[in-house]
Structure 1
């Protein structure tokens, strides 16, 4: 297409695999833990199978692709369960917020479900891909339309890459249908440019927000850790904010 493509590497790879859990989970939920090396996430497939997405420095990711399945499983369980030293400043701040929330009756009182343990991986499911930020300045040309990862790439920590792609497809299909109804050819640039404008207005702010989250979670200084921990705790405690975020994250899939 000879169009500009803005990108930068995160110097990480996303290690993926299909995991067998040690025991079935009663409540099927997704798990994500932010580690010093990058987030590890388990996305449920069934009550005993999960899909792994583990963001790691490139050298470590390549190493884990070569180790035995037993060592790979041990590394996953260690990443899920390892207890790291806690900073006194962060702990004091979190206790103060906890007391404040209890005083305001904002705690949900929900019982916390522990993260699962992994017993094995599905043979042949282990792989990895480089993590990048990428965005095409133009999504369309005569006879050509970019959707999904061809148009944009984001860090998987927010789980929004596939949603952005679904949104592209939905808007494009709607506009192509409109073109057909109005008697225009499918490649009419008026409709294609409209697709490009609508999707870039939506995609770009979300992409930069995800990039900002990635940079925030890379920080290990106590003030940064405290700020993001307080933010997550407040988000979880305030129903209106929590519901809005959940609906935004899942709305695109639900509407399909």
Structure 2
């Protein structure tokens, strides 16, 4: 048993979801003792060359947390979205659907921005430090035991922490989720997503493009300057071959998919491939335990919503914790945590099913399916009301009953 004082919330995972949750809880309830542990080395986040799409609802959350103004100079607004459907060798790629993103939200802001991961993590870390939230790197939560009033967490440095609530933000292969006895629904797509950054001669004008190719979507997403972030889906074996190939072969294959509309291309970031699949937790909570982010759900990047689902978790779980505390309730009790699960499970399952169907529909070369999806895309493009509905869904502001942080309100 440890002599350390009891924590209110221990977050296992120092990524964007874990850090933003810690900041959100501490900012709304400064008296709560919040701590973050992560098994990675302290400065590993500085090596992250990737960028993420942040939709309007997530931007609202980051703004309330006090970090968006610091991130904004490095964020590139997505002003336009273009969707095509073709084969890799097709000389012409007809555009079936376009979305104008500028001024789409109620405050006139774009529906999404591309944000470098390093900028986001760095800003969240600095905010956590300013609020007095300790972040312990190279410290893995190796196991835990749950009692009636507390959970004792065993750490990799040989110490223990006692907390009223343990939140697992430790990724799609969460070991803590398995230790909690929470089962998952899993499916491997046999695809991997290649992620890298390219420079091009001509400006992208804030345009994001998603090309549906037989092996999977090839997305180009605008970054500051004449740069774009790529999320390139291929069959797993082909992705491995491409990542391991020399620069000449990789860039030739890249040009076949990217095209020449922005001039000559140059790969300026490292290239990595990530296996793609669907993972949905059967439960989001257990006594004194909650899942958030990829530990609760891993979906296909076809819609660019993975990280944004995690920020929705943060908004809902932070509000659940803070409001339970204000009412004098036990924040780790299952009866209090069930509100969070009710808030998030339907939306998560719906998004998981949606991305699964879209991936199966578009990642093939079957002629009947190609005709069906192209007719469907064309119909959406001709119906402004339906396009507006899809934009609102994408930006995370459709409907009502959202957690306060997602609509720009303090908890």
Q: Which residue of 1 aligns with 2:236?
A: 58
Task: Using structure 1 for the length normalisation, give the TM-score.
Answer: 0.81
Q: Is the 8 A contact 2:213 2:364 kept in 1?
A: no
Q: Which residue of 2 aligns with 1:153?
A: 298
How far did 1:148 drift? 1.2
Select the structure that is richer in strand.
2
C-alpha separation in 2, matches of 1:117 and 1:251: 34
C-alpha separation in 2, matches of 1:214 and 1:134: 14
Aligned runs of 1:68-217 on 2, under 5 Å?
A: 68-81=246-259, 116-117=262-263, 119-123=265-269, 125-217=270-362
How far did 1:44 drift? 1.2
C-alpha separation in 1, matches of 2:363 and 2:232: 15
Instruction: State the secondary structure of the residue aligned to 1:199.
Output: helix
C-alpha separation in 2, matches of 1:145 and 1:46: 36
Instruction: State the secondary structure of the residue aligned to 1:52.
Output: strand
Q: Is the 8 A contact 2:188 2:276 kept in 1?
A: yes
How far did 1:118 drift? 5.5
C-alpha separation in 2, matches of 1:249 and 1:117: 30
Instruction: State the secondary structure of the residue aligned to 2:355.
Output: helix
Q: Is the 8 A contact 1:175 1:191 kept in 2?
A: yes
Q: Which residue of 1 aligns with 2:395?
A: 250
C-alpha separation in 2, matches of 1:137 and 1:225: 33
Q: 1:67 aligns with which of 227, 242, 245?
A: 245
Structure 1's 254 and 4: CA in aligned 2 closer, same or farther, altered over 3 A? closer
C-alpha separation in 2, matches of 1:47 and 1:254: 29
Q: 2:196 aligns with which of 3, 12, 17?
A: 17
C-alpha separation in 2, matches of 1:12 and 1:219: 12
Structure 1's 202 and 232: CA in aligned 2 closer, same or farther, altered over 3 A? same
C-alpha separation in 1, matches of 2:316 and 2:343: 8
Structure 1's 178 and 143: CA in aligned 2 closer, same or farther, altered over 3 A? same
Select the structure that is richer in helix.
1
C-alpha separation in 2, matches of 1:118 and 1:32: 19
**Residue 32, structure 1, aligned to residue 221, structure 2:** no
C-alpha separation in 2, matches of 1:7 and 1:184: 35
What RMSD in Å do the two structures reach over aligned CA positions? 1.9
Task: Using structure 2 for the length normalisation, give the TM-score.
Answer: 0.51
How far did 1:116 drift? 3.4
Moved over 6 A (4+): none
Structure 1's 115 and 49: CA in aligned 2 closer, same or farther, altered over 3 A? same
Instruction: State the secondary structure of the residue aligned to 1:128.
Output: strand
Q: Which residue of 1 aligns with 2:220?
A: 42
Q: Which residue of 2 aligns with 1:5?
A: 184
C-alpha separation in 2, matches of 1:158 and 1:172: 23
Instruction: State the secondary structure of the residue aligned to 1:40.
Output: strand
Q: Is the 8 A contact 2:312 2:406 kept in 1?
A: no
Q: Is the 8 A contact 1:77 1:117 kept in 2?
A: no
Instruction: State the secondary structure of the residue aligned to 1:20.
Output: strand
Q: Is the 8 A contact 2:192 2:233 kept in 1?
A: yes
Task: Tell me the matched-pair count.
Answer: 222
